[in-house]
Amino acid sequence: MSLDAVLSRIDNDLPEAMDRLLDLLRIPSISTDPAYNASCDAAAAWLVADLNSLGITTEKRETPGHPMVVGHVEGPDPHLLFYGHYDVQPVDPLDLWDNDPFDPKIEETVKGTVIRGRGSSDDKGQLMTFIEACRAWKAEHGSLPCKLTFFLEGEEESGSPSLVPFMKKNAEELNSDIALICDTGLFESKTPAIVTMLRGLLGEEITITGPNVDLHSGMYGGVAINPLRVLSRIIAALHDDQGRITVPGFYDGVPELSDEMEAQWQGLAFDHVNFLGDVGLSQPAGEQDRTPLEMIWSRPTCEVNGIWGGYTGDGFKTVLPSKAQAKISFRLVGDQDPLVIRDNFRAMVRDMLPDDCDVSFEGHGASKASMTQTSDPSFEAARKALSDEWHVPAAYVGCGGSIPIAGFFQDILGTTPMLVGFGKDDDAIHSPNEKYDVESFHKGIRSWARILAALTT
Amino acid sequence: MSLDAVLSRIDNDLPEAMDRLLDLLRIPSISTDPAYNASCDAAAAWLVADLNSLGITTEKRETPGHPMVVGHVEGPDPHLLFYGHYDVQPVDPLDLWDNDPFDPKIEETVKGTVIRGRGSSDDKGQLMTFIEACRAWKAEHGSLPCKLTFFLEGEEESGSPSLVPFMKKNAEELNSDIALICDTGLFESKTPAIVTMLRGLLGEEITITGPNVDLHSGMYGGVAINPLRVLSRIIAALHDDQGRITVPGFYDGVPELSDEMEAQWQGLAFDHVNFLGDVGLSQPAGEQDRTPLEMIWSRPTCEVNGIWGGYTGDGFKTVLPSKAQAKISFRLVGDQDPLVIRDNFRAMVRDMLPDDCDVSFEGHGASKASMTQTSDPSFEAARKALSDEWHVPAAYVGCGGSIPIAGFFQDILGTTPMLVGFGKDDDAIHSPNEKYDVESFHKGIRSWARILAALTT
């Protein structure tokens, strides 16, 4: 059967495929920092050239932010769309990296060979698994197995401001039968998984201002309001003693797990001791009446992602600062409405504010949670393909992260998203020393070849 | 009388005195930042040269940190020591300065002519008032009026780590009848004042560590402890709803105001509406059962001077950070013991720490409050001299700031400190756009000439 030939070619061509990935990883396409605008553009151009070399008619499509990469190739039904993102997270704190994040290396580790560098797992390594599968297929068969659309984004790590307008404007062009999205992981680093439950995300930046200038804490300390104290009090009040979030109405629309899902998750036997132990922790810190798996998959959260104000350099400065700032994000589930929660959060902050303080807010994205219907037979076909490749039954799972694109495909295009990825829990995405296992990359490419075969025969 | 001739000379020589101060202000002697070590040394050398030019035998004296400047000149009793500091605060946030902090300018403002630049008020401008008074005296009389010791420090803004060892080692040399300290201000920017009550200072830097690496808040949010939340909770717990500090035993040794002092302070009619209004505030934020003047002069405080952790750059990063840090300081009064409070504070932080977090502490100075006895007749003589110069009765006042040196003179040398200064509340010391009024500088020099005359006749 022709799939075997494609799989053999994938095995033989792995070194070249890794070289191509390293090339792409060398482009520092940090989307959130304007200093890297040209690099984002260069990463898009790299992908345009690569896809065109496979006979996929591809263009860089301008947006108010970073460009989209969109390519098409004709073929028989079904019409599959592939989504990934070429932008990466910032790299600070840089001093915790063992090597330059943008000088990627192949490293032998006790757990196997890895590709080390920013974006190796999230998401350049993952998106290249699909492109490499197509490359091998094309090389073996002369053409791709079905009608394909490639849709690669450059703003996923910075809230995807251009995504919805672009999808709406080009809905007809992007409309397809299934949207394959490769930005998730294996379950517990070993079981192939199709993610069917994704948390939404609401990002808020708050700036609290007290005195109109930095003050001397000797002269004013005790009598002047300190915005750092106000901010700390607000952040501390966002959770109660049991880990529940206190924003009014926050749990409206949060569903309880179905008995069926609960049973399936219990079957997964999630090892939270190892999951936490890997990062130096031991106690699940969320709602104390929930299981660890619920905490990361099906329960909403509120986290402080950054906080700053006053003197933060070496030594000491007895300043009573004028401003205190924080970046706070909420992971949302079920039918929680991000815009309602944003309003309630802002009202709660304003209510807690002393008379002498002001607050300003900056929104950083607001997306609902999404849940995929798996009734389409493609899901069972893909699940079988994954099980064949990994020699383990693939699972339908939840995901703590937020991939708003999945909801957008459903809501804007009416296309069913299918989330398949090969990241591992210890990939350190968004952290120093990010890596992608060569096993993930290699078997990921092979998995896509199997899925292409399964969905087109 | 010869004092008149000195005062006239001071008036005539003011332009040259201002030029000399501008020269000193151009040296960026930020003591807390090692990048400015050479500048601190240069400021010390500048003062050594200037004092030697007045016939005061002066040397730069090495310490493990920045050098002391020590000078002596013989003369009749009393033996007066003068203390000031040549180091300055850091200048960040630099973008809030209208000009280069170390390119000082004479500016006309609606409130009068000012000398603008870092250190203009704290403390280079102030220390030069005394030196200029000596210069005029010497020029007019050929010699100084009494035995004088100059003792100028370069670490006041960074916790004075070398001060106590140096004073102990050189106690005999520095021992004197009265130590004149010029690092305080006018009362309400208009009434000359001798400070008799100074708060102590305890500085603590805390670092809370949770996960051993920065995490992705999608993957770990909800299940992994977030040190920013832990830190916020601890900071929020340091004060109760009434503004009282909750560190166990914190108020041990805090005295109530004597009836006499309370009556005197009521007579001062402190205008807290203006004091707060100048910096955009309206509500006294300290212990709600205390007057504003008590809050800044006679009550202890706890302030957060800086806080940082996670992603603080542009855009958004859904990181769950490994570390959270803060700089916290306590202003102390009466017999509060800084070392006991440090222990109790650290124990309280440890008690509030979840099992999965660690904390480390770094101390940044610990000094007791001090209170000067004003029974020595020199105090009334100096108070009369100040009243004559400013045409307003001078006051004995408290001071919210911490000038540990006052206590050290008392405790280590047995010398009575006398704190006289000419800063104004709107000088923006420790803030951007620091300034010193030319009126403060000019009348400050004249005040010292009058005090020298009053103490030596």
Q: Does A96 touch chain B (CB under 8 A)?
A: yes
ipTM of the prediction: 0.72
Domain check: are A84 and A171 in the same one? yes
Domain check: are B174 and B44 in the same one? yes
B155 located within any domain: yes
- The half-sphere exposure of B263 on its side-chain side, counting CA atoms within 13 A, is 3
Mutation site, A160, A199, A230, A232, interface B, largest B CB count within 10 A: A232
The sign of the dihedral angle between the CA atoms of B380, B382, B384, B386 is negative
Last residue in a domain, options B367, B385, B420: B367
One-character DSSP codes across A15-37? HHHHHHHHHHHTS--BTT-GGGH
Q: Does A309 touch chain B (CB under 8 A)?
A: yes
Domain check: are B332 and B412 in the same one? no
Query: For residue B305, which residues of chain A lie inside 8 Å, CB to CB?
Result: 217, 228, 310-311, 316-321
B268 located within any domain: no
Domain check: are A175 and A317 in the same one? no
Domain check: are A300 and A391 in the same one? no
Domain check: are B422 and B311 in the same one? no
A262 located within any domain: no
Last residue in a domain, options A342, A367, A392: A367
Q: Does A35 touch chain B (CB under 8 A)?
A: no
Domain check: are A434 and A445 in the same one? yes
Q: Does A241 touch chain B (CB under 8 A)?
A: no
CATH code of the domain in which B28 resides: 3.40.630.10
CB A155 within 8 A of CB A161: yes
Structural domain boundaries enclosing B221: 200-254+286-367
A266 located within any domain: no
B419 located within any domain: yes
Do B400 and A286 lie within an 8 Å CB cutoff? no
Q: Does A282 touch chain B (CB under 8 A)?
A: yes
Do A214 and B311 lie within an 8 Å CB cutoff? no
B-proximal residues of A, 370-399, CB under 8 Å: 399
A185 located within any domain: yes
Q: What type of residue sits at position B363?
A: G
pLDDT digits (tens, 9 = 90+) for B306-326: 999 999 988 888 899 999 999
Q: How many domains does chain A have?
A: 2
Do A213 and B313 lie within an 8 Å CB cutoff? no
A280 located within any domain: no
Domain check: are B178 and B141 in the same one? yes
CA pair distance B134, B140, nearest whole angstrom: 10
pTM summary value: 0.73
Q: Which three-class secondary structure state does DSSP give residue A320?
A: strand
CA pair distance B344, B365, nearest whole angstrom: 16
Last residue in a domain, options B313, B343, B367: B367
pLDDT digits (tens, 9 = 90+) for B409-446: 988 999 999 999 999 988 999 899 999 999 999 999 99
What tokens appear for A332 in the block?
């949302």
For chain A of 457 residues, list the mean pLDDT of each consecutive stretch of 10.
91 98 98 96 98 98 97 97 97 92 96 97 98 97 96 94 96 96 90 89 96 88 94 97 96 90 79 90 93 89 96 87 97 94 98 96 90 86 96 86 83 94 92 96 98 94
Domain check: are B87 and B187 in the same one? yes
Cα angle for residues B336, B398, B196 (degrees, 5° grid)? 85
Minimum CA–CA partner of A398 in chain B = B219
Q: Look at residue A208 in the predicted model and tell me its pLDDT.
A: 98
A415 located within any domain: yes
Domain check: are A437 and A346 in the same one? no
pLDDT digits (tens, 9 = 90+) for B316-360: 888 999 999 999 999 999 999 999 999 999 999 999 999 999 999
Domain check: are B184 and B228 in the same one? no
Q: Does A211 touch chain B (CB under 8 A)?
A: yes
Considering only CB atoms, B296 lies closest to which of A93, A223, A226, namely A223
Smallest Cα distance from B255 to chain A, Å: 17
Considering only CB atoms, B292 lies closest to which of A157, A223, A279, namely A223
Domain check: are A222 and A319 in the same one? yes
CATH code of the domain in which B314 resides: 3.30.70.360
